[in-house]
Each structure stands twice: as C-alpha cells, then as structure tokens.
Structure 1
Amino acid sequence: MKQLIVIWDTLRLQMKNSFVRPMYRFCLIAAPIVQTILLYEMYKNSGQDNFTTYVMLGGGLMGLWSCICFSSAGDINRERSMGTLSLIFVTPANFSTIIFGKVLGNTVLSLGTLIISFLTAKIVYHAPIMVVSPGFLLLSIFAAVICFITISICLAYLLTLSRKTQLYMNCIEIPVILLCGFVFPVEILPVWVLPISYALSPTWAVKLIRLSVSGVDNRMEYFTILGILGCITMIYIVLSIFLCRTIEKQVRMKATLEVS
C-alpha cells in the first residue's frame, strides 16, 4: 500500500514538473503537430489506402518517443545537477519505486501526443479516421504503454551512473524512430539491420497498432506478435532488475553517484 502511495505521489509530481519545462512542452505539443503535417505531405501522393491513420499514429508515436527521451532519460541528469539524486537514492521509499513513478508519470502525460496528432490531421486536413478493429487497437495501445514504460526504466537505470546523459538522449531519439518503424515498415530496412529492429520492443508495439488499424483478419498473427512483445518486455524487466541491483552495488562501493 505504501509503495502505491509513493508511486501515485511521484507520478503526480513528475507530471507537473515535466509540463513546466519548455523542452518537454515542445515535444508534447509542437513536435506531434509538425511531424503529423510533415508525414501527411510525404504520404498524401503515395496511393496507399488509409494512409492518414498511419500518419496520425506515426506522428503521435514519434512525439511520444521524443518525450520519453527528454524526460525519463533526462530526469537522472536533472536530479544529479540539482543535487537531489543521492537524496532520492537513500530515501525510505525504494529507489526503483520512485523511478517507476517518474517513468509512469512521463508516459501517461506523453500519451497526449497521440491525441494531438489525431486532432492535427483532423483539423488541418479533415482526414478521416478509420480504425477497423478498435477493440484490438485499445489492447495494442495498452501493450505499447507497458512496452514504453519498461524501455524507459531500462534507459533511466543505464544513465544513472553515466555522466553523458544529454549526449545519449540526443543519440538514441532518431535511430529508434527509424529502427522501430514509426514512420515506415522496418521490412524495407537493410537485412543486417533487422535483427536490431526485432530486438527492440517498440517495433512489435507499432506492428500491433498498425495491424489493429488495418483490421485483424488473422487473430493468430495478432496474438503471435503480442506474445513476442510480451517476451521481449519480460526480458527488459529482468534487465531492469539486474541493472537496479548492479547500480545499488556500484553506488555503495564507489559513492560517486553525484560526482561529475
């Protein structure tokens, strides 16, 4: 019960702190608008059926990932620069619980990019919204949220002991967008890149969402992709637990958590 209270309080505080930052507001509001318009102009003469829904999802997911990169990953660096990282680490509440609350708050708030992307396409281009399997789409979005939460926690832990957080944040944003098929199917990428794409859970989350939009004719295919996403997500969870224990051990041995 106490952990749930900590998660809830951390989530609310994180959402407030994130929204007051100009960079986060840009990623949350401006980025999905610009990206949706750009993708629409790119795809409007493609001849592809129902391309507007893919444009909306692509713009929203790109904005969602940008928010995660510059919030969940950047929070560690901000706590370090403010001198509060070590205080969070030694609080009675578990460090992993606080990190989870922060990531959950960022992810929930960042889901607004999907809404903004849909509204942009609807208002600017009067684009029709056609979702053939809305029930499967809701399940896919829920699975995608879990996927983004786990990958965000992994990133937060990986960057806890790093002193180059800003560099890594900027380096991972665009490659993940390209590798995970936010804008185009990953199958058109070079063959040697595909193993990297398939090892990233957002790739399978995007596949689920697009399959739901176009219509789930083959339920076996849908649940197979969902199962693969679940397996990769479990691997990320195990990795997060390992990283958390490793970080705790390193911090207690070296005591350099806030040393720049």
Structure 2
Amino acid sequence: MNPTIRALLHTIKVHMGLSIARPMFQFIIWISPLFLATISFFIYGSESPEKIFQYVVLGSGFMALWSSIVYSSASDVNRERYYGTLEIIFVSPTSFSIILVGKIIGNTLWGLLSMIISFIYLVLIFRVEVSIVHPLFFIGSLIFVFFALSVFSFFLSLAFTLSRQAEALMNFIEYPIYLICGFMFPVAILPIWVKPISYILPPTWAIELLREVTMENATFSLIGKPLIVLLFLTIIYVVLGVFCYKAVEKKARILGKLGVY
C-alpha cells in the first residue's frame, strides 16, 4: 500500500479513537442529535411528509454533522497547540496536510454516524417517513456534499491554526451556521443583509442540494444550480486552503511561531 494512503488511514483510525474517548465529543455524537431532532420535529411536526424530511430529518442531521466538523476544524488544532504537539506533527515525516485531512475525515465519519442516529431516532420515536424517490441521485449528492464540507473544514482548520483564538472561533461559528445556512428554515426568509453571507458558505448549498434531490419531481435542471454553485465554492475553498497552508508553513518554518499559545 502507498505510504501516504497508509498514513492517512492510520490517522483516521487513531483520531476517531481519540475523539470518541472525550466525554464532550461523545455528547455531540450520541446525545446532541436526539435533542436537535426533537426540537426540529416539534417545529415541523404538522407539516407535509416531504417538508418534514427536508427540514427535520436533513436539518437536524446536518446540525449534528456541522458540530462534528467544527470540532475537527478548531478543537483538535487548539488541543494540539495546548499540548505542545502541533510543531511535532507539522515536522513529522508525514505531511501536516495528510494528518489534518485524516483528522477531518475521521470526525466527518463520526458526524455521519450522528446523522444516522438522528434519522433512526426520528423514524422509531416520531414515526417520520423517510422516503427517497431518487436514491442514486441522493447517494451521489451525499458523497459530493461530504467532499465539499471536508474541503471547507480543511480551510477552517488551517485558518484556525493561524489564530490563537481557535476555541473562541469554534464556539462563535457553530450555532450561527445553523441559522444563516438554512438548516432549519429556507434562506429566503433571512434578512437581505444576511443572505450574501449565506450564499458564500458551502453548507448552504450542500443542504439545498440534498433537499432538491429528495423532491419527487427532481431533475438535473432543478439540482443543477446548487450543484454548480457548490462545485464552484469547493474550488474556491481549495485555493484558499492552499493559500492558508502556505501561511501556516511560513509561520512554522520561518517565524517559528506555530505553537504560540
């Protein structure tokens, strides 16, 4: 097996074990999805099955996924800095970017599990109907959504690495993203000045794409807009991620201040 792939898989395995060993992360994965799903159902419980699926099942699942992504973006970087291991990881034989990607994938997989827990809870307790008319569209879109969110998380991780206030930024962006990205309601009802912020964030278009592909009359022309915009934003955040990585490398190798806490 290629050494890079082996290192990536090992990082994912080790990081998933370390993450789930923390009580706070256990709450995010096992308990938080139940609260989010319950609140979502109380809001939309009397709506049509299609709307319940789009705003209760997908909405609560995305909130649980986003919490996991935020913790992989900020908390892990901040923890490595606090323990004094951030510089060691950066200069290890395995590229820092590979280690970071492994952490992100590991936490994203835990986030996927929290989404599944939310789905099962809603089906068993609240008897929510989960009907996916176009399963191939949905699965393909879900894979692309996870890729797009991983790219966004990679950018956030590097941006937080450059800051001493990673934990504060993590707490600051977690709940606002629920609101401005339309996890619980359409972005269209937000104030005009908020919408531009919503439209430059990949989670907005990610959940919009999944909602479009679950509609009964879903066609490529309908899902084309969120798909193209999400692809465009993903490319932009790849470029921003590369730029941030170079800045992190400069801070580590030239300025020697990567681990300043």
Fold equivalence (TM over 0.5): yes
* Alpha-carbon shift at residue 49 of structure 1 (Å): 4.2
Q: Does 2:215 match 1:214?
A: yes
Q: Which amino acid aligns with 2:51?
A: F
Q: Which amino acid aligns with 1:192?
A: W
Instruction: Give 4+ residue runs of structure 1 displaced > 3 Å after superposition.
Output: none
Superposed, which structure 2 residues align to 1:166-245 within 5 Å?
A: 166-245=167-246
- Asked if 1 retains the 8 angstrom alpha-carbon contact of 2:72 and 2:153, the reply is no
Q: Distance in 2 between matches of 1:13 and 1:72?
A: 17
* Alpha-carbon shift at residue 217 of structure 1 (Å): 3.2
Q: Does 2:91 match 1:97?
A: no
* Alpha-carbon shift at residue 231 of structure 1 (Å): 0.9
Q: Distance in 1 between matches of 2:120 and 2:170?
A: 28
Q: Which amino acid aligns with 1:50?
A: E
Q: Distance in 2 between matches of 1:79 and 1:40?
A: 38
Q: Distance in 2 between matches of 1:96 and 1:125?
A: 42
- Asked if 2 retains the 8 angstrom alpha-carbon contact of 1:27 and 1:67, the reply is yes
* Alpha-carbon shift at residue 93 of structure 1 (Å): 1.2
SS of the equivalent of 1:254 reads coil
2:254 aligns to what? 253
Deviations 1:151-177 (A, max 9, x none): 111111011121111111100001111
Q: Distance in 1 between matches of 2:148 and 2:5?
A: 20
1:33 aligns to what? 34
Q: Structure 1 unaligned runs (5+)?
A: none
Q: Distance in 2 between matches of 1:69 and 1:6?
A: 23
Q: Distance in 2 between matches of 1:12 and 1:233?
A: 26
Q: Distance in 2 between matches of 1:209 and 1:154?
A: 22
Q: Distance in 2 between matches of 1:183 and 1:147?
A: 20
1:52 aligns to what? 52
Q: Does 2:134 match 1:129?
A: no
Over 3 Å counting, the alpha-carbon distance change for 1:250 and 1:40 in structure 2 is same
More divergent stretch after superposition (221-230 vs 200-209): 221-230
- Asked if 2 retains the 8 angstrom alpha-carbon contact of 1:73 and 1:152, the reply is no
SS of the equivalent of 1:234 reads helix
Q: Distance in 2 between matches of 1:27 and 1:6?
A: 27
Q: Which amino acid aligns with 1:18?
A: S
Q: Structure 2 unaligned runs (5+)?
A: none
- RMSD of equivalent CA atoms: 1.3
Q: Distance in 1 between matches of 2:217 and 2:167?
A: 40
Q: Which amino acid aligns with 1:255?
A: G
- Asked if 2 retains the 8 angstrom alpha-carbon contact of 1:52 and 1:121, the reply is no
Report % sequence identity.
37
Q: Distance in 2 between matches of 1:223 and 1:139?
A: 13
- Asked if 2 retains the 8 angstrom alpha-carbon contact of 1:52 and 1:129, the reply is no
Q: Distance in 1 between matches of 2:229 and 2:18?
A: 35
More divergent stretch after superposition (156-165 vs 236-245): 156-165
SS of the equivalent of 1:70 reads helix
SS of the equivalent of 2:108 reads helix
Q: Could you tell me the TM-score, scaled by structure 2's length? A: 0.95
More divergent stretch after superposition (219-228 vs 36-45): 219-228
Q: Distance in 2 between matches of 1:106 and 1:137?
A: 22
SS of the equivalent of 2:193 reads helix
1:66 aligns to what? 67
Q: Distance in 1 between matches of 2:80 and 2:192?
A: 40
- Asked if 2 retains the 8 angstrom alpha-carbon contact of 1:24 and 1:71, the reply is no
Q: Could you tell me the TM-score, scaled by structure 1's length? A: 0.96
Q: Distance in 1 between matches of 2:51 and 2:225?
A: 25
